[in-house]
Amino acid sequence: MEYKYIIKTPQKTHRLIIIFAGWSTRPDFYRNLQADGWDIVVVYDYSTLDLDLSFMEGYSTVFVIAWSLGVAAASHLATSPLFAERISAAFAVNGTIYPSDDLYGIPTNIYESTRAGLNARNLLKFTKRMGCTVSKDGISLSVTISAEAATSPAEETFIPDFDKMAWELENIRDNATRGNLPWKRAYISDADRIFPPANMSRYWSEYQPVTQIVNIQTPHYVNLQNVIEDVTPNYSKIAGRFRKALPTYDDNASAQRIIVDTLIGMFPQADIVKGARLLEIGSGSGLLTRVLGKALHPSQATFIDLYPTPTFGIAPDEKYIVGDAEKYIREFDDNQFEVIASASTIQWFADPDSFFRLSARILTPDGILLCSSFLPGNLAELDNSRPAPLLYRSEEELRDMLGKYFNNIEIKSAPIVLHFPTRRQLMMHLKLTGVGGGGTSRENIVKQSYSNTPQSSISAPNDFTLTYSPVYIIASSPRK
């Protein structure tokens, strides 16, 4: 295997996306991909299955997005602990770890006929089935993603070596071993003409631990930019919506107020250290902040959020940081805080495991982490219309992460169901609280989600619901 950077940010970043390319594509095919705050590397050429992993040095959060036979290539590398242990999350797009298999992969007869009969004409047919258009000029092939498959066409011109390409198919079929990666989500195209959707659904529905399956309506080729936007939060959009909702948030955040009350109720009075140094992440309008101020009377308070927040005045010494908390938490000294608190924020984090690890480092030996997030199924009423839900971690996953860094852990959860008499009031709740972050407009999501609601019931009471699925965490005695 080989690799090539297609995005390397001028400012050093700790986040990396590794794209495992589909067979017959090269790095230029992916050149329009981008992700704010992430470097992007493309791994390609499966004529050998070894890879120099030195490019991964310096990154603490690494996502794998593997397309087609790239899923098997990524799985092969996972047999190396040097690779597997560095991966924070992995996402499969129209592929499984079985390149050729009648139950779980490309049917063996189709795979073999493609390999054995590879020539310019058959490659042209394969690429069309993949969902791309191809023009042939002599022995040079120009591959262009069709308008139906991508919003920003990418082009790649290369002279194919058919013997080498056939060997890639044989090599990855016969020599790829199967290691374990944290596959969080599998995208399956209903119109895939390369990997049978039934085979992919069969494999990923049986995969353990459970992988979320997202069904999409595309050919085998998927615009990977959409996948990147699904799995990496757009912080500028998130900040914009919450900043806009700041004047109306407190009066409309009924679920969030319940979350704050429940969270602070987990804080045993005996553990409250008066005059503690406090770090709050995602302080927003100050719902949690004000309660913490009364309980702790902190001597110092540091606040991090994506946008400028009000001045809270709960400590004689306060510092306000506008930016990415996952970045800034790395810059604090060891043992700097007695308390780290966060309500309804860490669900946006790309790498909560890293956040927990760094929190344990910057807390004092008797320090406390108090935070809430959301579980899979949060706002499930909107799932049919948004491209994909946030990458919510399960209670078990959160417990496993925290157990590596804290001695004492308490986690609990309970759903909060809000009822709205009309669709408009539901939309207003989302707008006035900023809930939903970035991506598709709330109005379109809500309209599509409730498109099957009978007109006669539009004004009936309690017809429209939103179900929040908060999870509450208190962790203490960091492992040093």
pLDDT number for residue 314: 96
pLDDT number for residue 203: 97
- Closest among 276, 269, 345 to 305, alpha carbons compared: 345
pLDDT, mean of residues 412-439: 85
DSSP calls for 79-104 = TSHHHHTT-SEEEEES--S-SB-TTT
Tokens matching residue 355: 């956040």
CATH 3.40.50.150 residue ranges of the chain are 235-478
DSSP element (H, E) containing 108: helix 108-116
pLDDT digits (tens, 9 = 90+) for 207-252: 988 789 999 989 999 889 999 998 998 888 888 888 888 899 889 8
pLDDT number for residue 440: 46
DSSP single-letter state for residue 392: P
Cis before 376? omega within 30: no
Other beta carbons within 10 Å of 103: 13
Taking a C-beta distance cutoff of 8 angstroms, is the pair 466, 378 a contact? Answer: no
pLDDT digits (tens, 9 = 90+) for 185-198: 999 999 999 999 99
Query: How many whole angstroms separate alpha carbon 396 and alpha carbon 262?
Result: 20
CATH value of 2-120+166-231 in 3.60.110.10, 3.40.50.970, 3.40.50.620, 3.40.50.1820: 3.40.50.1820
pLDDT number for residue 242: 87
Taking CA atoms, 201 is separated from 65, 180, 196, 220, 260, in Å, by 18, 18, 9, 14, 39
Report the CATH superfamily, name and number, of domain 235-478: Vaccinia Virus protein VP39 (3.40.50.150)
CATH 3.40.50.1820 residue ranges of the chain are 2-120+166-231
In the block, tokens 């310019």 appear at: 120
Query: How many whole angstroms separate alpha carbon 102 and alpha carbon 86?
Result: 32
419 phi/psi in degrees, rounded to 5: -115, 140
pLDDT number for residue 387: 64
- Closest among 221, 255, 44, 36 to 126, alpha carbons compared: 221
pLDDT category of residue 448 using cuts at 50, 70 and 90: very low
**Residue 17: pLDDT above 90?**
yes
pLDDT category of residue 158 using cuts at 50, 70 and 90: low
pLDDT, mean of residues 446-453: 46
The type of residue at 436 is: G
pLDDT digits (tens, 9 = 90+) for 104-141: 999 999 999 999 988 888 888 888 888 865 444 333 33
pLDDT category of residue 458 using cuts at 50, 70 and 90: very low
pLDDT number for residue 441: 44
pLDDT number for residue 144: 39
